[in-house]
Structure 1
Amino acid sequence: MNPIVLWFHKLGSPPYFDRFAARWAPWGHGIGLLLIAVGLYGALFQVPADYQQGDSFRILYIHVPAAWMSLAVFGAMAFYAAIALIWRIKLCEILAMACAPIGAGFTVITLSTGSIWGKPMWGTWWDWDPRLTTELVLLFMYLGVIGLYHAIDDRRAAARAAGLLAIVGVVLLPVIRYSVVWWNSLHQGQTIRLFGESSMDASMMWPLWWVVIGTKFWFAGSLLVRARADNLHREAGKAWTTAEVPR
């Protein structure tokens, strides 16, 4: 068997995943915090003020990475849920449900920083702008997945039901992504592009990428921590849990 395929098969074993998560979760958090700290230091102390928005634009270095992660985590949750529904892989159920609280957290940060940024720019904390409204709907979708998962006692049945909701909800992602293009919006258009030229000056870009990459590592660490906890909860009472996790 191919070594990579073999590793994925082994990762589906609850004891093996527990050891894997325990080993690598601290690395995800550590590297993520380091990268985010470097990026925020550059954003606060090395990047010049914007010629139009002044220093208030610096909230972008939190708002944009959080917004990207709010969409990416929902996509990952739907992806894991689809694998779990098709192939009945328990680990993917666990990973899908572990994504939900993390993604909800990123969405709350996105909405909060957007409101703080909107006050000096728009003169109001909130406007029923298409981008803001669809992002708020995304938060409700996350909360719906979390609520449905905890409303059913059978963990596997709960994960399948909540996973189905996540898969249905994934249609919201392109609506959020292109809302500023499809409708008249107070929210500024796309200024930062992963591919192609961004309208933001290059001297202001480098801290953003540090924070963007850092949030990816932080998410990986948090996902492993939450998935490990759920895995242990489901496997409670089995011999390997009492051997590896002393009570």
Structure 2
Amino acid sequence: MPRGKHRRPRTNPLTRRVIVAGTGTAALALPLMSATTAGAAESSAATVGSVTYTTKKGDSLYGIADRYDAQGGWKQLYKDNRKAIGDNPRLIHTGVELKVRATKKVSSPAKTADQASAPAKKSSVAQATQASVKTFPDNLDGWIRNALDIMGQNGIPGSYEGIHRNIMRESSGNPLAINNWDSNAMAGTPSKGLLQVIDPTFASYHVPGTVYDPFNPVANIVAACNYAAARYGSIDNVNGPY
């Protein structure tokens, strides 16, 4: 606001009624903003702050960063918590407290007392319907993200980095890749798809809700990660042929 030589008008703190200097008359009445109004205004704005998150089984830095829309993504999350995590960002132990630079959007008004006391009702059908409306690009990045979303719903551990690393080694990102020369192929069960899964493994670890086709990129990733979780604890722990 530019500086001026005029005397500043005095205000009545109870009514915010402006008293014009020298006249004693009211020129304008401004109602005070109530605490409720102020709170509603604050709740509609986006807030950014630090969140303490305690890791649990199946967590990955990518998943945590994505959940909280962390500033700087998983790399910044790792940088901020490297001392607690250790030298391997892919190996996340349970019970570790992480500081997350979270971006949390608060858009709904505060609940009433009745709403707060009422139990939440959200069926598994509603959750599945919500998940089904998500869309992902039809490329390697989208396939991995889609798979991670399904894995999260089914408690299958794994990170973007672990999946991507193994895909690039096994198929170079080609969902139609097939191995017709190794021992599996000689036995009549060639390895197929992004993560080179043989048919018996795909049948055993296929996750309902995904396409029953080992060449389908998302179904292939989810089944392979489900198998890796059962045998190695997580696809993140796989660093060679499995």
TM value normalised by structure 2: 0.24
> Would you tell me which structure has more strand in proportion to its own residues?
2
